[in-house]
Amino acid sequence: MPLLGDADETRLKLISRLIDEGPQSIAALADGFDISAPANLKTPARDQRRESVWRLESHALDEARRYLDLISKDWDDKLRRLKEMIEEDI
C-alpha cells in the first residue's frame, strides 16, 4: 500500500485481524505489532477481572462498502463514456 502511511497500514492490519479472529483484548490485538497502547489502556482497571474487548461494528463497514460501491460505479460509468467517445473518434 504505497499511498498509505505506516500508521494507516497498521490500522488496516488490525481491522483485518478483528475481521478474521473476532473480538479481542487490546493486548491480544496489538500482539505482533510494533505499537503501544495509550497509557489509559495500559493502566489496570479497578476490577482486574474486567478487560476491554475490541470488536468491529459491521454496520460501519457496510456503510463504507456501500459508499465505495457508489464511487466505483461512478468511475466505471465515466470510463465507459470516455471509451465510447474515443472509439467514436477512431
Residue-wise pLDDT for 13-35, tens only, equals 888 888 899 898 888 888 888 87
pTM equals: 0.49
Number of domains in the chain: 2
Cell 463497514, located at residue:
61
Q: Are residues 33 and 65 in the same domain?
A: no
The answer to whether residues 68 and 37 belong to one domain is no
* Confidence (pLDDT) at 5: 53
Q: Are 45 and 67 in a shared domain?
A: no
Domain of 89, in residue numbers: 57-90
- Tell me the average pLDDT across 62-87: 94
Which set of grid coordinates corresponds to residue 55? 470488536
My answer on whether 43 and 70 are in the same domain is no
Residue 25, SS3 per DSSP: strand
Judgement on whether residues 76 and 50 belong to the same structural domain of the protein: no
- pLDDT classification of 52: cutoffs 50, 70, 90: confident
